[in-house]
């Protein structure tokens, strides 16, 4: 497909809630990403036309909101063929954070670097009076050796519940969004808090924790953050910061993503365990001077759990701790947590 703007659309590279993303070539900008936005099933024709006008206006606004941690919007054009809207942005060679999230828990040190970049970009939008409304791993992209915020302005207050439900991210909507469908800087803070939680735990842990549960009901019931399950290597201070970002009362959350970033920046990244999660076997490794510490948690059955910790150096392996016989999940969790956080 060609446009008078000099844009040529190529191969499909991703699919999103409101449209598909293609590689593109622009005669001025070279290789670009093109998001083709169409009317969604839960939108009326008038809602779509209004949102399309809003997107065109916001694209112009975003062109002026230049920041190193924001994916640049180059321009937007209407298709003459099917009425869709084509938003043209920088092509991010590194892809999205979704790939790392799906691979498993991300180390604390790397998570802090990612969050710092995200906060810088998101704060740049907030100071210009813009709300993102859709912070999640898939909308964070890597380019030029840094993480950048993308896919801004695609969700409006009128359609946000339908969109989040369709994409499986209802937990990224703060209680006041479920209640009133109104977004703010504080609702972006909530979504960023959930993003940090996801990154630290990985997709498989997250899915196992919430399978079969109604996320909307959990969020609206209150105290959602206090009932979140945690991998045992996540330090208590990290949990406290995330819970504050997810406070039911928006006045008790961080006032801005800049405040959240400062809080995260003050947290220790030690011990910086590498975790690999499976429902039946979770493991941790940590390089400790010249030796590698290895911890495993085996699930034999819902009521029978085992764990062991070893120190490995060269050809020598030394037992550091563990259970001699199967124990309850709660008992094993407590012992592993104490061991992991003692380094």
**Is position 310 annotated as part of the catalytic site?**
no
Q: Which of 26, 117, 123, 134 is catalytic?
A: 134
282, 275 contact by CB (below 8 A): yes
233, 340 contact by CB (below 8 A): yes
Q: How would you label 65-89 residue by residue, b for 16+ Cβ within 10 Å and e otherwise?
A: bebebbbbbbbbbeeeeeebbbbbb
- CA-nearest of 128, 130, 123, 170 to 152 is 130
Q: In sequence order, what are the residues at sequence separation of 6 or more whose Cβ sits closer than 8 angstroms to the Cβ of residue 161?
A: 170, 173, 177, 178, 181
239, 196 contact by CB (below 8 A): no
Burial class (CB in 10 A: 0-12, 13-18, 19+), 301: exposed
The C-alpha atoms of residue 151 and residue 137 are separated, in whole angstroms, by 11
**If you search the block for the tokens 């990403």, which residue do you land on?**
33
Count of positions (residues) in the chain: 343
> ∠ at Cα 104 (276, 318), nearest 5°?
15
58, 37 contact by CB (below 8 A): no
The C-alpha atoms of residue 303 and residue 312 are separated, in whole angstroms, by 30
The C-alpha atoms of residue 66 and residue 162 are separated, in whole angstroms, by 30
The C-alpha atoms of residue 270 and residue 286 are separated, in whole angstroms, by 10
For residue 113, what are its two tokens? 């670097």
The C-alpha atoms of residue 229 and residue 208 are separated, in whole angstroms, by 10
Burial class (CB in 10 A: 0-12, 13-18, 19+), 123: buried
Whole-number CA gyration radius for the chain: 22
The residues annotated with a catalytic role in the active site are: 134
């Amino acid at each position: 497909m060609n446009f008078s703007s000099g844009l040529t659309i190529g191969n499909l590279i991703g699919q999103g809630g409101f449209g598909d993303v293609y590689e593109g070539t622009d005669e001025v900008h070279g290789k670009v990403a093109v998001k083709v936005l169409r009317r969604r099933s839960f939108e009326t024709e008038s809602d779509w036309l209004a949102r399309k006008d809003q997107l065109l206006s916001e694209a112009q606004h975003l062109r002026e909101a230049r920041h190193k941690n924001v994916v640049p919007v180059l321009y937007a054009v209407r298709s003459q063929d099917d009425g869709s809207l084509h938003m043209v942005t920088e092509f991010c060679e590194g892809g999205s954070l979704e790939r790392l999230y799906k691979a498993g828990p991300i180390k604390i040190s790397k998570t802090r670097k990612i969050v710092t970049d995200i906060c810088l970009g998101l704060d740049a939008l907030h100071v210009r009076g813009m709300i993102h409304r859709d912070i999640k791993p898939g909308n964070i992209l890597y380019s030029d050796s840094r993480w950048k915020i993308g896919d801004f302005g695609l969700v409006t207050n009128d359609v946000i519940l339908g969109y989040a439900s369709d994409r499986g991210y209802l937990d990224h909507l703060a209680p006041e969004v479920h209640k009133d469908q109104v977004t703010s800087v504080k609702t972006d803070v909530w979504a960023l808090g959930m993003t940090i939680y996801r990154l630290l735990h990985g997709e498989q842990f997250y899915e196992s924790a919430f399978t079969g549960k109604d996320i909307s009901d959990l969020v609206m019931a209150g105290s959602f953050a206090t009932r979140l399950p945690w991998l045992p290597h996540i330090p208590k201070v990290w949990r406290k910061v995330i819970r504050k970002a997810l406070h039911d009362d928006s006045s008790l959350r961080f006032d801005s993503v800049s405040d959240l970033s400062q809080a995260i920046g003050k947290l220790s990244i030690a011990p910086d365990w590498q975790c690999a999660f499976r429902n039946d076997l979770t493991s941790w490794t940590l390089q400790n001077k010249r030796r590698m510490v290895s911890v495993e948690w085996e699930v034999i059955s819902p009521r029978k759990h085992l764990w062991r910790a070893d120190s490995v150096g060269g050809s020598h392996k030394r037992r550091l701790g563990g259970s001699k016989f199967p124990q309850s999940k709660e008992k094993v969790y407590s012992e592993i947590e104490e061991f992991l956080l003692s380094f």
